[in-house]
Structure formats: structure tokens, C-alpha cells
Amino acid sequence: MRAFIPTGSATDPVAFADVDEPAPAADEAVVEVEAYGVNRGEIMRLHRPKPGWRPGKDIAGVVVRAASDGSGPAEGARVVGHPPHSGWAERVAVRTASLVELPAGLPATQAAALPLAGLSALRLLRTAGSVAGLRVLLTGASGGVGHYATELFTAAGAEITAVTATPERGERLRALGAHAVVQDVADAEGRFDLALESVGGASTRTALGKLRRRGRLIWFGGASREPLTLAFFDFFNGPESGSIQHFSYTDSDVPDGQDLATLVRLVAEGRLHPEIGRQEDWKATGQVVQDVRERRVRGKAVLTVGDRA
């Protein structure tokens, strides 16, 4: 079957190749992929891939071989899944605990935009706890996680100030519930109870300085790839006795499938809106990878496998 493999090249990071068909474990179903999403984290791994690793953590498609242990969706079911890797392919094996059936009205392209970014936003909210009435500063807000976080945190009662690269990107975030949108974290007005920081470097330091006393910063990404230097006395410039918390979306007690089911339900009910800034045939994967890396895509990038989607 056909799949994308990493090349290690900075200019052509992936290439088509013929690979073996999936060999599923007993608790895995084989899914014929209709669409897949691109995530910044796996793009960073393309330059130094581990032997045998292939990209692809967000997929949607049709089960063509049900799990042999009897768990999960039946053959023919439309599903969204979150495999650990190898989803940029015609077919992929996915644990049934990370698969969710799709309602009839939800297209594969929208579903493929859900897993990693949606799980991250949902688990950020869970990590933050009760946010009703809190002022929340969200950096890197025009990415996939940022759009979902804006909707989820706003629905939970938070007042969101979103930081985006351009005013045009901010318009969509306002429509999703953002109270204010700025283009530089330094321009965010007032003090904040909570900062959700995904850029790194100078952005993290500035966001920390925007916190009120005993405020909290949850650090969930480093899109700028810039190193961060903090001094002890930075905390006396507003966030005295404040805290910084590292966040990893994989550190969750809730199974992926359970949280994916929540995301699918919210989309089906019109309460969560996947933001797809780029949709292409999978032949364009290499260029889309470059555009996501350079932060030229608003929201999520989704690739369709031939005419299946």
C-alpha cells in the first residue's frame, strides 16, 4: 500500500513509498483512511525520525477489518481515530480504545481535524479546572488547539484574550467567543488569572508578567522553538507566588476514545467547530507540512486520500 515516509530532508520532508499492509494486534482495527490531519509536533519529528516511524496521529475513515478480539466498531463503520503514528497512509491499524464511530452528518474531513488538537484543548480545560469568571490569556490562538480552546473555555465561563499573528485570524476567534484579540502578547490589557502559553521564548516570559498575584501559566507548546530564560525576580513583576505548569496532552487518566467521543458529540451538537484552514489532496502533503511549520495555516490542515472523502 502507499504511505508517506519521512526523508530527513528540510526541503522535502516526506515522500510516497510502498509499505507493508498493517498487521493489527487483537485489539486493533484496520481503517481505510479517508482524511488525515497534520500536527506541528509530528512535523518536528520528521527531521530526526526513529527507525520504522511514520507520521500520522489524526485519521478518519472506514473500518475494513474489525478487531479480532471483538472490541470496537464493526467492519464498515465510519470512524475517527488517534493512532500513535503511521496514519498518513491508505490504511492504518488503530487500537479500538482510540476509535469512535461518527454520526452520519459529520464528514471525514472535519473528524480528521479533531484528535490531537481537540484532545489537547479538552484536557487543557480539565487541567485548568473551574474557569468560570476567570480572565484567560491564550497565545498562539490561531492554531488548531487555540480555536478549540477558545470555544471550550468560553463555554465554561472564561473571558478569553487571544493572541494571533494577524487581525484577520482574530476575527474567527471573536466569532467563537474570544472577548479580545491582540497581535502581541505585550498588548494584552490588564492582569490575568490564567495564561495558556504555546509559543515559548519571549512570549512565555511576557505572558508570565501578565498574570495577577498567584496566577498560573500552563505551558503547552513551543511553536517558536526559542529557548526561554526566566529569573527569580520575574515573578515579582505581577505574578508574585505564581506558578508555571508543564502540560502534555498524553498525560491523561481518561482514554483517548472517551475524550474523542466527547469531541464528536460537541461537534454533532453544533457546540464545537473544527477550523480547517487548509484542505488538499494528500499528494500536497509535503507542501502543507512546510506551510504548517512556517505557521501559514490558520486552524487545522487536512489532507484527503484520493477521492475517498
Which residues fall within 8 angstroms of residue 18, CB to CB, at 6 or more apart?
1, 2
Q: What is the pairing mode between strands 211-219 and 159-163?
A: unpaired
Q: Which domain holds residue 288?
A: 2-114+274-304
Residue 242 shares a structural domain with residue 121 = yes
Q: Residue 211 pLDDT > 90, yes or no?
A: yes
pLDDT tens-digit series, residues 21-65? 999 999 999 999 999 999 988 988 888 888 889 999 999 999 999
Q: Which residue has the higher pLDDT, 32 or 8?
A: 32
Which residues fall within 8 angstroms of residue 297, CB to CB, at 6 or more apart?
277, 278, 288, 291
In a domain, 62, yes or no: yes
Q: What is the pTM of this model?
A: 0.94
- The three-state secondary structure class of 264 is helix
CATH of residue 40's domain is 3.90.180.10
Band (309; pLDDT cuts 50, 70, 90): low
CA angle 41, 277, 146 (to 5 degrees): 55
In a domain, 237, yes or no: yes
Q: Which residue(s) pair with 245 in the sheet?
A: 218
Task: Say what the pLDDT of residue 226 is.
Answer: 83
Count CB-CB contacts under 10 A for residue 203. Answer: 23
pLDDT tens-digit series, residues 276-303? 999 999 999 999 999 998 888 989 999 9
CATH of residue 212's domain is 3.40.50.720
In a domain, 253, yes or no: no
Cα 271 to Cα 58, 119, 138: the distances in Å are: 21, 15, 20
Residue 240 shares a structural domain with residue 140 = yes
In a domain, 257, yes or no: no
Residue 145 shares a structural domain with residue 240 = yes
Which residues fall within 8 angstroms of residue 73, CB to CB, at 6 or more apart?
29, 63, 66, 79, 96, 99, 101
Residue 125 shares a structural domain with residue 238 = yes
Residue 10 shares a structural domain with residue 57 = yes
C-alpha cell of residue 9: 530532508
In a domain, 220, yes or no: yes
Band (107; pLDDT cuts 50, 70, 90): very high
In a domain, 293, yes or no: yes
Q: Residue type for 204, please? A: T
In a domain, 268, yes or no: no
Percentage of the chain exceeding pLDDT 70: 99
Residue 237 shares a structural domain with residue 126 = yes
Residue 162 shares a structural domain with residue 207 = yes
